[in-house]
Amino acid sequence: MKPLVLHSVNPFLFGTGSWVYGQLRGLERWRAAVVCKRRENKEQFPFENVHALSDLPAPRQWLEQTLKAVRGAFPFMIDVARREGARVLHSHFAGKGWQDIALARATGLPHASSFYGADIWRSSRSHKWRTRYQDLWREGDLFLVEGGAMRDKVVSLGCAPDKVRVHHLGVDVDAVNFAERAAPADGVVKVLICGRAVEKKGHDQALRIFSAARRELPGLRMSVMVIAKSDEEKAVLAQLEALVRELDLSMCVDFPPPLPYAAWRKSLESYHVFLAPSRHASDGDAEGGAPVTLIDMSATGIPIVASKHCDIPEVAPHGVSGLLFDENDIEGGAAALVEAVSSPQRWREWGRAGRAHVEANYSAARQVAALERIYDELAERAR
């Protein structure tokens, strides 16, 4: 029977957690079980071997909470690990990694934790979390990060360098349609920004960059595809709409309505340049390594114009898949956008190189295979 890795993530699974889901679904030599406090989005993320506290009868939930306060770990999670014959515990996000220290102790499992962004960049501003990190560095066996920038950040917080491993998130490259971009017959170049309506994405800066670029290229058009589900995100979206009016961009900027996934994928082929001015947010939040959307977009063959934020230079190297500019540099971003838009003869080259770079370093199949080798290493070390 294949060895089993016990994944700990809560909830299983939040709506934007496809990159966590892929790490479970793609396993070949290993199998997975999930433990969590509650389960969400079952239709979006179907998975059979999920064990949630919220699925237990109410009296049992109360007992579990009481015993966890004493023992540090939910007894049902310990039971699942033993019953399933788990060989490795994999926690997702630093918060779960810290909470699962007691679970790792109780089960004797080697313990890996993956970090994704705010759990390191924002939380490191908290004295409480800087203290908790020291427990995690001491107790944990391995810490997985998305790239060199986060690796350096984790080491700067006191983690031993030999416990930190770069492991890229992957996308299903075969499921991403590749389309070479060419100069449009009507001369109208369409720029796209995309992602959650949160400060670190830099959508407001994207609008200012676009506005500055139109001084030289008045024919530019932009689409703003942002996800706004929470009240806070809806407020950010409203601010973006107001900024469009303030900058007098209403005639050249649109906000496309949400589309079914397949239709959204197809719509990407109509855009010529993807703009991603990610930045450190005022509360310290940042892209974990690089936004998964950027990896996805590069795989489609669209030229990239992005900031040198966190590990974006690893995902979209300057001059390879497009052009990069300094974080928070509006004029520099506008200059890069103008250069990219004015160089349609390079779009095909950038698109092909970007796709090849993703295939070689960020394909889901390759990264899951690498993850399984990490599990092999941890299981052998424990044995």
Domain 4-170+363-382, CATH homologous superfamily name and number:
Glycogen Phosphorylase B; (3.40.50.2000)
User: Is it the case that residue 50 has pLDDT exceeding 80?
Assistant: yes
What is residue 252's predicted lDDT score, i.e. its pLDDT?
A: 98
Residues 8/90, Cβ–Cβ less than 8 Å: yes
User: Is it the case that residue 238 has pLDDT exceeding 80?
Assistant: yes
Query: Domain 173-361 classified CATH 3.40.50.2000?
Result: yes
Distance CA 102, CA 71 (A): 8
Q: pLDDT per residue over 141-190, tens digit each?
A: 999 999 999 999 999 999 999 999 999 998 999 989 999 999 999 999 99
Judge if 4-170+363-382 and 173-361 fold alike in CATH terms: yes
Q: What is the mean pLDDT of the chain?
A: 95
Q: State mean pLDDT over 83-93.
A: 98
Distance CA 262, CA 338 (A): 31
Query: Domain segments of the chain: what residues?
Result: 4-170+363-382, 173-361
Confidence of residue 18 (pLDDT cuts 50, 70, 90): confident
User: Is it the case that residue 263 has pLDDT exceeding 90?
Assistant: no
User: Is it the case that residue 383 has pLDDT exceeding 80?
Assistant: no
How many other CB atoms are there within 10 angstroms of residue 92's CB atom? 27
What is residue 34's predicted lDDT score, i.e. its pLDDT?
A: 98
Strands across the sheet containing 4-8: 50-52, 31-36, 4-8, 86-92, 111-114, 142-145, 164-166
Q: In 162-173, which positions are buried (b, 16+ CB within 10 angstroms) versus exposed (e)?
A: ebbeebbbbbeb
What is residue 373's predicted lDDT score, i.e. its pLDDT?
A: 98
Confidence of residue 292 (pLDDT cuts 50, 70, 90): confident
Cα 171–20–235 angle (5° rounding)?
95
Q: pLDDT per residue over 333-345, tens digit each?
A: 999 999 999 999 9
